Amino acid sequence: MSLKKVYFKTKIFEIKYFLKTVKKFYYKPIFALFDLFFSLTYFFINPYRISRKFLEKKLKENCYVYGETPYVTMDKIAKQADLKGSDLFLELGSGRGKSSFFIAFFYKCKIEAVEWILTFKKIANFFKTVLKVKDLKFIHNDMFNMNFEKYDVIYLYGSTLEENEILKLIDKFKKMKKTSKIITISYSLSDYDKYFFTKKSFNVYFAYGRTTAYINQIRS
C-alpha cells in the first residue's frame, strides 16, 4: 500500500473515531474540553514528526513506529480488564498521554504513564495542571529501566517491539503480583514464556485495522 493510501486510510479512521468519541464520551464536559484543546494543540505540533526525530537520534532502524490507542478501544480494554478505582494502572510508552487521560477521566484509578520523549511529557503535564487532573502522574523514563512490582494493571501497546525487548520486559513482569494483569496488543506473553497465561483475549481496532488484545497473568 502506498504512503498516500496509508495516510488517507488513517485520516478516514481518525474522522470516524472522532465522531464515535463525541457521541459516546462528550457527555462529560471536562473530557470534551480536554480533547478539543489537546487536539488543537497537536494540530500545530506533529507527534509523528516528534517521534521520528527522537528515534533517529536514538539510531533506531525503524523510526516510523508511533501509534495511539483510540478512546473507544481503550474503553473496551479497560472494561475487559475490569479496571477498578483501587487499581494502580501503568501505561508503558504513553506517547502524548491520551489513553492515560481517558482512564483518569472515566475510571478514576491511580495512573502512571511512562514516556521517554520529553516533549510529550511536558505537554501532558501542562494539561494535567491546567485541568487539575488528580491521581495521574507522567514519568519521563525508559521502560526498560523500570520495576513493575507495585502495579495492578499494565497496558503495553508495544506491537512494534523487537523480540529481545519483549523478553526484557517479561523478566521484569515475572516479579509482579500474581493477581496483576498485563495487557498486550497483537501478541500474548505466553507466546514467549509459559510463565504467563492468557486470562482473556478479544478483538480491538486501531488505525491500521483489527487485531487482538490479550490480558496476561502469572501462572499460580
Q: What is the pLDDT of residues 31-80, one digit of tens each?
A: 999 999 999 998 887 776 777 776 666 555 554 455 689 999 999 999 99
The pLDDT of residue 50 = 76
What span, in angstroms and rounded, lies between the C-alpha atoms of 33 and 45? 19
The average pLDDT across 136-158 equals: 94
Task: Give 159-193 as a 3 state SS string.
Answer: CCCCHHHHHHHHHHHCCCCCCCEEEEECCCHHHCC
Q: Any idea how long the chain is?
A: 220
Average pLDDT, the chain: 88
Angle between helices 3-25 and 29-41 (to 10 degrees): 160
Residue pair 217/197 in contact (Cβ under 8 Å)? The answer is yes
Q: What is the pLDDT of residues 77-96, one digit of tens each?
A: 999 999 999 999 999 989 89
Which comes out higher in pLDDT, residue 127 or 17?
Answer: 127
The average pLDDT across 8-14 equals: 70
pLDDT at 166 over 90: yes
pLDDT more than 90, % of the chain: 68
Task: Transcribe 82-145 into DSSP letters.
Answer: T--TT-EEEEES-TTSHHHHHHHHHT--EEEEEES-HHHHHHHHHHHHHHT--SEEEEES-GGG
What span, in angstroms and rounded, lies between the C-alpha atoms of 69 and 92? 12
**In the structure, what pLDDT confidence band is assigned to residue 106 with cuts at 50, 70 and 90?**
very high
The average pLDDT across 189-200 equals: 96
The pLDDT of residue 195 = 95
pLDDT at 189 over 70: yes
CATH architecture entry for 3-218: 3-Layer(aba) Sandwich (3.40)
The pLDDT of residue 59 = 53
The pLDDT of residue 158 = 81
pLDDT at 101 over 60: yes
| Nearest CA-CA partner of 179 in 214, 143, 147, 220 | 220
The pLDDT of residue 91 = 97
| Nearest CA-CA partner of 207 in 28, 16, 39 | 16
The pLDDT of residue 32 = 96
Q: Where do the domains of the chain lie?
A: 3-218
pLDDT more than 70, % of the chain: 88
Which comes out higher in pLDDT, residue 199 or 12?
Answer: 199
Residue pair 145/134 in contact (Cβ under 8 Å)? The answer is no
